Structure 1
Amino acid sequence: MHKPSRLKSAYNKVMEKLALTPDVSFTRLFAFKLVLGLGIVGAITSMLVIAFCSNLQEDFTYKGFNHFFVVFKFPVSVIAAMLSVIGLIALAHRSEQSARQIKQSAEQIKLSETQNIFTNYYKHIEEFEKYIATNKNINNHLMTSQPDITARDIYTTYFPNSKSGNGYQIEPLFCDKIKSTIIDILNHLKDFYESEHEDTQALAKAKACFLNAFKSQPKLKSLCEKRIIEQTSKDMNNDHALHYTIFEQMYYTLEKYIYLAQFEATSEQLSVYTSFATALYRSGGFLEKVNIALFFLTKKDFSLDRDLSWQAAPVVYKVKRDSRS
């Protein structure tokens, strides 16, 4: 019952011995020593047998030397076969070494890439924190509104792919979920305003959507004015100024995102948001602002029409906060 397992164990041991380990030098391989030993022993043994069992005479002429290879043809063939097998073993061993070197090189490249990603990630964080600390607009309009949120928290929210090295571009503010929520808020505000402040239910819906979005969405939460959120939570639905407060907060969020995006956004990305903000800033009444916001957010290509006067807004957006209430 135990014979098969013993044979298998013995076979495995032999195969381990014969393995062409790439870390071991060729001359120290067991396979090399085995073939070399068998070849030399076989050649010497066969030469001795031929010499003692054959009636040979000394002949140092060229005929004698030529006859030597005829007489000892078998031992010479054994040595030739031995050298051929050793050559094959050397070739196989060299292939194993090459495969190991390729594998090690790939691992080193991967390790180097991982280290580069790790280094770049923390360097990017360091640069972002430095940008936050030295940028007057960020400090005045962003960090003071949310003292509990750090620059690292904002970085994690707006650069989620940087840790894996998949990109250092800032995340867009209006993802599908946020854009859909903002559109709902704007529609409710529009209904309230067009009803001449009579549709308090629309205002209540706008307030509920607003508070839910700005408390649960990390992108909005990190940029919101804490005092306005608290004020909105306390305000009654029949407060006619509430719709201005809600819209103001959404505008300030857009403004802060622009300040933030100047760190790592392309001119094309930034110009879309600055065009939107400039259009809102230049517009007149509340209803016009809401309609502009809805027009922008419902555009398929997320940009404004060329024939609109605010399309040529500057890339670097500066808000005159002192001129707004």
Structure 2
Amino acid sequence: MKEKSLFQLKRLWILILMVLFLSGSVAAHIFLSSDLTYVPGYMGVNGLLEVFKVPLGILALLFPVVALVSASHRSEQTKKQIIISESQNSFANYYKHVEEFEKITLLLEKRFNLEYINHRELYFILFPLNSPSHVKTDSTGIGVRPHSKIYIISKALYDLVDVINHMEDQEAYSSMPVNSFFSVLSSFSKELKFMPKESAECHRVTVEPFLDRRTMMIKENDPFIHYHAFAEYLSILGSFCNVVPEFKRVSDSPEISKLAFRVLDKYKIPFYQDPETGEILTSR
């Protein structure tokens, strides 16, 4: 929309007309209610100035009125220019931020041998309040949960690991906490796009209570390799999102490892490697 000049403003002309009307009304009243006689020469001119001093004074208000409207108009134009400039900066910063985030996701894909990460979906999970008109570099939540998704997930996993480690202290081992841990870990991994490509160390699993097939890192000597890799993945994301996730290492207790392998063996889908292509295939 084209900006209006000063003399195209309705409020300016309304104020000018109000001043002219008031001044004219007072002058008309003086002229009609007074017995005035015109005297030629300078005395007559001085007399007119004296008689019409009030309406002339009102008329003089035009100058400050125009000055005030002019100042207000400049202030509005400056404010609009600032808003436009901020909007343009925010727009550019938003897409630059998304672009840098995409670079991070590409590095993560290579580092952890992951399936394709839809960086825009992940971006909106970690930065739900960002838009071309508003951008923040700190990852936050939304609504009544203002914390970053990275913080929420790391805190939940920290608490679950704490429960598992506490079994060793009590020497009361149960598969239930381990089962819950892997179930939550699988869910969080899928939510944050941490889906390793299937390989000799990454098995297809069906994790209760989820019926869809997912990939999970499993090593013969480390049943929690997926958790450790996911923790590193979240730490790298956290460095971009200005969030410092806190993780707890799972106990090296042989009993806990046995429980973990027992749970994972139940989840694993049998697979074999094609001798010709080397492709990892799941059995039917």
TM-score band (shorter)?
A: 0.5 to 0.7
Tell me the secondary structure at the aligned position of residue 205 of structure 1: helix
| Distance apart, 1:152 and its partner CA | 1.5
1:118 to 83, 91, 98: 91
2:192 aligns with 221
User: Which residue identity does 1:98 align to in structure 2?
Assistant: A
Distance in 1 (alpha carbons) for counterparts of 2:74 and 2:59? 22
Q: Which moved more, 1:183-192 or 1:109-118?
A: 183-192
| Distance apart, 1:33 and its partner CA | 3.7
The answer to whether the 8 Å contact 1:157/1:218 transfers is no
The answer to whether the 8 Å contact 1:36/1:86 transfers is yes
2:37 to 50, 71, 75: 50
CA RMSD between the two structures = 4.7
Task: Assess, with a 3 A threshold, how the Cα gap between structure 1 residues 191 and 38 changes in structure 2: closer, same or farther.
Answer: closer
Distance in 2 (alpha carbons) for counterparts of 1:129 and 1:118? 17
Task: Assess, with a 3 A threshold, how the Cα gap between structure 1 residues 252 and 224 changes in structure 2: closer, same or farther.
Answer: farther
Q: 1:181-196 to 2 correspondence within 5 Å?
A: 181-190=156-165
Distance in 1 (alpha carbons) for counterparts of 2:73 and 2:103? 44
The alignment-based identity, stated in percent, is 18
The answer to whether the 8 Å contact 1:117/1:165 transfers is yes
Could you state the TM-score of these two structures normalised by the residue count of structure 1?
A: 0.52
1:286 and 2:252 matched? yes
1:14 aligns with none
| Distance apart, 1:78 and its partner CA | 4.0
1:107 and 2:84 matched? no
2:55 aligns with 82
1:256 aligns with 233
The answer to whether the 8 Å contact 1:145/1:226 transfers is yes
1:206 to 155, 167, 178: 178
Could you state the TM-score of these two structures normalised by the residue count of structure 2?
A: 0.57
Number of residue-to-residue matches in the alignment? 229
| Distance apart, 1:153 and its partner CA | 2.0
2:124 aligns with 156
Structure 1 unmatched ranges of 5 or more: 1-19, 59-63, 235-240, 291-325
Structure 2 unmatched ranges of 5 or more: 1-6, 141-147, 209-218, 257-284
Distance in 1 (alpha carbons) for counterparts of 2:189 and 2:129? 15
- The structure with the largest helix share of the pair is 1
1:139 and 2:109 matched? yes
Distance in 1 (alpha carbons) for counterparts of 2:134 and 2:190? 21
Task: Assess, with a 3 A threshold, how the Cα gap between structure 1 residues 45 and 150 changes in structure 2: closer, same or farther.
Answer: same
Task: Assess, with a 3 A threshold, how the Cα gap between structure 1 residues 210 and 243 changes in structure 2: closer, same or farther.
Answer: farther
Distance in 1 (alpha carbons) for counterparts of 2:78 and 2:166? 65
Task: Assess, with a 3 A threshold, how the Cα gap between structure 1 residues 92 and 244 changes in structure 2: closer, same or farther.
Answer: same
- The structure with the largest strand share of the pair is 2
| Distance apart, 1:31 and its partner CA | 2.3
Deviation string, structure 1 residues 151-198 (Cα, Å, up to 9, x no partner): 1122223344543645314577752x43442233323433566788x8
